[in-house]
Amino acid sequence: MSDLTEFPIAEIGRNLRARKFTARDLTDAAIANHDSRGEALGAYKLWQADAARDAADAADALFRVGADLGPFQGVPVSVKDLFAVNGLPTFAGSPNRLPPAFERQGPVVDALRGQQAVITGKTHTVEFAYGGAGVNNHWGSPRNPWDANDHRVSGGSSSGAGVSLCEGSALIALGSDTAGSVRVPASVTGNVGLKVTHGRWSLAGITPLSPALDTPGVLARTVADTTVAFGEIDRKASTGALLSATESASLDGLRIGICDDIFWQDCSPGIVEGVRQALDELTEVGARLVPLELPEAEEVFGLFRRGGIVSAEFKSFLEDELPEWEATLDSVVSARMESAADITAIEFVRRCRLMARCSATAAGRLRTVDCVVTPSVSITPPKLAEVSDVDGYMPRNMMMLRNTSIGNLLSLCALTMPVALDAGAMPVGMQVLMPAGAEEKLLAVAGAMERKLGTGRERLGAPPLCA
């Protein structure tokens, strides 16, 4: 039998309900993939094969009596170790288990567990999600499976999420995104990543970093799988309506905003070329590239580069909730907090107002286009040795987060999808940005793009360490 985890989620659902294979068969395939690849890749903080088999058996028992809880019944899912999952510990990438208050499951996990999804385990995260490279010096940093020779980072902060998809141990991965922590790991591992509008999904049950910017998100292998996940987690959306809209969406006449500024500067060889090639293919079926001025992008990234509001919110959280954890922070995390105490209350409010003003003016500019497209990550993911100390880490981390952070700071929803390999044979993501609350349209447009360009596997092939 071929690897059952290779099928799209919609097809898996049809096969499970037709009893062509069982949830236990699917879960056993996911476990076999992890057993053969997991030690080399290190995606998981906590791997639970036995519990996954039990959950799959429970899903099969429901199928046998005609109980259908939803499209994720019996489907393997990984969860970032920032989310509480009832019965499992939460470390949030820190060296010590968090108190019970941080292990109370929230609505996002509820949505999948309520359908009897199979939780394969909790994936590694940068400590407290504060970093975009994917480094964790406490527990180890997952390996990007696209480089068979060197240990390259897998992107952060949801560092194990994309790797779990590549190795075939999960079909959907839950992550969180404060400045790119879903889209960065999705982009550099050749997957799809969705950041929803801030406030659209509940943050309950997720260890906070910066409540002003934190958003839950999902990673998947395709836009189609992402659409199913979004529809099942989102309380406003209908999965059926989403899939119907995606199938009927056309690229003919689509106005794609192109900002010839910060997003396209100082990119590693092959990144700009890969995204431009994808855009050329989209224009072949009627999409139009529209020059767009977006000076707010440069303005808010300057704020982010100075420390923004994330460091102040994070430091406040630690001092109030977990004071003993500050002394054991990973050096690459603590270095980014050094200026937090210097931000006065007046300066904090001023920065929040700047972000709000830029978001409002940017929203006005975006009305002239249907979406904005940029490279998702501007540099080739570095080798772990290049970001093992603070001096090497800081500039590379900032460049990995540059393009994605702007989406958070301007209150946009955003998706990354794989479109190419760069000059180093590492995945290139294309970021699609839309105004707040436009997730349904974003998924429909991205689905139409995927039908034209192909899925990541069709376009890029398989990661060398997962082939």
For residue 294, pLDDT beyond 50: yes
Which amino acid is located at 273 in the chain? E
Which one of the listed residues 45, 78, 80, 176 is annotated catalytic? 80
The closest alpha carbon to 195, from 230, 165, 171, 224, belongs to: 230
DSSP code at position 91: -
Residue-wise pLDDT for 209-266, tens only, equals 999 999 999 999 999 999 999 999 997 778 888 888 878 899 999 999 999 889 999 9
122 as an active site residue: the answer is no
Who has greater pLDDT, 252 or 339? 252
Give residue 237's pLDDT.
Answer: 77
The closest alpha carbon to 200, from 97, 294, 107, belongs to: 107
Instruction: Domain ranges for the chain, please list them.
Output: 4-466
157 as an active site residue: the answer is yes
Residue-wise pLDDT for 407-426, tens only, equals 999 999 999 999 999 999 99
Angle at 64 between CA 61 and CA 65, to 5 degrees: 95
Give residue 52's pLDDT.
Answer: 98
Give residue 1's pLDDT.
Answer: 47
Mean pLDDT of all residues in 346-363? 95
Residue-wise pLDDT for 298-336, tens only, equals 999 999 998 878 999 999 999 999 999 999 999 999 988
Give residue 338's pLDDT.
Answer: 79
Instruction: Please give the C-alpha separations between residue 253 and each of 167, 298, 369, 399, in angstroms, as whole numbers.
Output: 38, 28, 11, 33
Mean pLDDT of all residues in 192-207? 98
- Is residue 343 very low, low, confident or very high in pLDDT (cuts 50, 70, 90)? confident
Which one of the listed residues 154, 157, 187, 405 is annotated catalytic? 157
Instruction: Please give the C-alpha separations between residue 84 and each of 14, 264, 329, in angstroms, as whole numbers.
Output: 30, 37, 21
Please provide the average confidence, as pLDDT, over all residues in the chain: 96
For domain 4-466, say whether CATH 3.90.1300.10 is its number: yes
- Is residue 59 very low, low, confident or very high in pLDDT (cuts 50, 70, 90)? very high
Which one of the listed residues 141, 181, 311, 376 is annotated catalytic? 181
Residue-wise pLDDT for 92-139, tens only, equals 999 999 999 999 999 999 999 999 999 999 999 999 999 999 999 999
Percentage of residues in the chain with pLDDT exceeding 90?
91
Residue that the structure tokens 């994070």 belong to: 314
80 as an active site residue: the answer is yes
Residue-wise pLDDT for 27-43, tens only, equals 999 999 999 998 999 99
- Alpha helix (H) ranges present in 271-428? 271-283, 295-305, 310-321, 331-334, 345-366, 390-409
Mean pLDDT of all residues in 180-194? 98
